[in-house]
A and B are shown apart, each in its own frame.
Chain A
Amino acid sequence: MTNIKSIKAEGGLTEEAHPSFFKATLAIIQKDLSAEFRSFELISAMLVFSLLVIIIFNFALELDVKVRQSVTSGVLWTTFAFAGTLGLNRSMSVEKDRGCMDGLLLAPVDRSVIYFGKAISNLIFMLVVEAVVLPVYSLLYNVNLFRLDLIGVILLGSIGYAAVGTLLSTMSAQTRTREVLLPILLFPVVMPVLLASVKASNGLLTGAEFSEVLTPLNLLIVYDVIFIAIAFMVFDHVVEE
């Protein structure tokens, strides 16, 4: 028989555990980042896919300078959307495959903590990929994308995408056909975010009047708020048996 020491907490550990919402959310984000920056499984897949897509578009379209400006937002958001799906699938399958989702659900915290933790992690992964894709795209297409206003639109679009994507990937992760199901569920729902992002980005890149950009920008902000609020309200039911 092995000598097992006591598991009683010596310092009278926790009479009642009281993890705060913020600290628990931060714990999930840090856990996801630590695991990912050690394995690079998720980011490397998203990056390779994104770079391949913009290279294929570059060769396929053979564009002149004027046309390049007009297709840039479409190519960029198509790339971000498809690469994002890869990341969302992987991020949730890590939790599901080894039962870690149950581990998260067993924590004495509001379950929306899990949603916000995973959504912010997914957003960070998307932003890392976008930070690499933008300079490569600028180089290949000879278009200046380093503008604060454009980066703001990309950030807003990514927030909306990660907000909806995290909720739907949690749902699809519970099915056997999750890789196929996620894009089928996600793209119709996230369409308003993508359309508003494309329109706002296009307006900024083609030098349109600010009033023309304002409408899609407002829509984008409203969609972000609505999607986050809906996800916050329904997440508990999504993860429940």
Chain B
Amino acid sequence: MIEVKKLVKRFGLKTILRGLDFSVQPGEFVALLGPNGAGKTTFLRILATLSRPSIGLVQVAGYKLPDQAAQVRAKLGVVSHMPLLYPDLTAEENLRFYGRMYGIGNMEERITEVLGMVGLENRRKDLVRTFSRGMQQRLAIGRAVIHDPQVMLFDEPYTGLDQDASEMLDDVLRTVAAEGRTVVMTSHDLARAEDLATRFDILSRGVIAASTTQKQLKDTNLLSFYKQALADS
């Protein structure tokens, strides 16, 4: 579903990604872990078509980037720590706007469906500016799934969420994964990542330093694996 080979990303003289290789099978849930500055967000922004690769092959859902970026965007749902919502529009107006940008046909049904999924049916007519951070993040997930994407990218989705909101997000992520969608999530929360993902890739200094799966972790825990991977890199 995602194929990345020898990806390099430079900003001026600074090289962020240094020949990164990465691949994700359909339905896999990959947690991309690593310290600040490792290049996680830059990498996710390239997959999301928000940034161009300097060198290397990037293919998402069978389409090459950057040439087939519009086709890739139609298959992608992206959630970041910013909700990407308009505070002066209501919840349903936000979803309707993004739905129109994706060319969705049965809009009203889909809005009701998505608001139900994120538990905001009773707040559909309320302005987003009146929502708590947790509610905004739930609606942000609704925005990201409005077009029923095959691949979902989550960039630090737990940032700023309280305990209840984080648990709600856990459930949404489990649902997303259970439906066979391909998920890539960056996070600093190793416990949550260990609980949710099926594979763990450690990104350090612009390359994947180590990779393991939920099954391979049986004898150890993710924290030890993470520390060892960073020490070896």
* Nearest CB of A to B153, in Å: 10
Nearest-neighbor residue (CB-CB) of A18 within chain B? B103
Nearest-neighbor residue (CB-CB) of B94 within chain A? A31
**Whole-angstrom distance between the alpha carbons of A19 and B102 in the complex?**
6
Q: Are A102 and B50 in contact (CB under 8 A)?
A: yes
Given contacts A14-B148, A35-B86, A98-B83, contact A108 B73 (CB under 8 A): yes
Which residues 10-39 in A have Cβ within 8 Å of B in the complex? 10-11, 13-14, 16-20, 23-24, 26-28, 30-31, 34-36, 38-39
Q: Are A24 and B167 in contact (CB under 8 A)?
A: no
Q: Are B48 and A17 in contact (CB under 8 A)?
A: no
Q: Are B88 and A2 in contact (CB under 8 A)?
A: no
**Whole-angstrom distance between the alpha carbons of A209 and B84 in the complex?**
53
The answer to whether the Cβ of A149 comes within 8 Å of any Cβ in the partner chain is no
Nearest-neighbor residue (CB-CB) of B102 within chain A? A17
**Whole-angstrom distance between the alpha carbons of A19 and B99 in the complex?**
9
- 1/0 per residue A79-109: CB within 8 Å of B? 0000000000000001000111011111111
Nearest-neighbor residue (CB-CB) of B109 within chain A? A11
Q: Are A19 and B100 in contact (CB under 8 A)?
A: yes
Nearest-neighbor residue (CB-CB) of A41 within chain B? B88
The answer to whether the Cβ of A110 comes within 8 Å of any Cβ in the partner chain is yes
Find chain A residues with CB under 8 A from B85 CB: 98, 100, 103
Q: Are B100 and A24 in contact (CB under 8 A)?
A: yes
* Nearest CB of A to B46, in Å: 9
Find chain B residues with CB under 8 A from A23 CB: 100, 103
Q: Are B102 and A2 in contact (CB under 8 A)?
A: no
The answer to whether the Cβ of B18 comes within 8 Å of any Cβ in the partner chain is no
Q: Are B110 and A13 in contact (CB under 8 A)?
A: yes
**Whole-angstrom distance between the alpha carbons of A14 and B146 in the complex?**
10
The answer to whether the Cβ of A62 comes within 8 Å of any Cβ in the partner chain is no
Contact count band on B: 35 or more
* Nearest CB of B to A167, in Å: 19
Q: Are B119 and A2 in contact (CB under 8 A)?
A: yes
Q: Which of A16, A31, A105 has the most CB of B within 10 A?
A: A31
The answer to whether the Cβ of B40 comes within 8 Å of any Cβ in the partner chain is no
**Whole-angstrom distance between the alpha carbons of A98 and B83 in the complex?**
7
Find chain A residues with CB under 8 A from B167 CB: 1-2
Which residues 156-215 in A have Cβ within 8 Å of B in the complex? none
Nearest-neighbor residue (CB-CB) of B83 within chain A? A98
The answer to whether the Cβ of B35 comes within 8 Å of any Cβ in the partner chain is no
Q: Are B148 and A31 in contact (CB under 8 A)?
A: no
- 1/0 per residue B69-104: CB within 8 Å of A? 011011010101011111111000100011011111
**Whole-angstrom distance between the alpha carbons of A19 and B105 in the complex?**
10
**Whole-angstrom distance between the alpha carbons of A102 and B119 in the complex?**
25
B22-30, B172-180, B198-206: which lies at the A interface?
A: B172-180
The answer to whether the Cβ of B45 comes within 8 Å of any Cβ in the partner chain is yes
Q: Which of B82, B88, B102 contacts A99 (CB 8 A)?
A: B82
Q: Are B101 and A27 in contact (CB under 8 A)?
A: yes
Q: Are A9 and B148 in contact (CB under 8 A)?
A: yes
Q: Are B109 and A106 in contact (CB under 8 A)?
A: no
Interface residues of A (CB under 8 A from B): 1-2, 4-11, 13-14, 16-20, 23-24, 26-28, 30-31, 34-36, 38-39, 94, 98-100, 102-110, 240-241
Residue pairs across A and B with Cβ atoms less than 8 A apart, 18 shown, are A4-B117, A4-B171, A5-B113, A6-B179, A10-B113, A13-B105, A13-B106, A13-B110, A14-B74, A14-B104, A14-B147, A20-B103, A27-B100, A28-B101, A35-B86, A106-B78, A109-B101, A241-B45
7 nearest A-B residue pairs (beta carbon): A19-B103, A99-B82, A103-B84, A27-B100, A107-B101, A108-B74, A241-B51
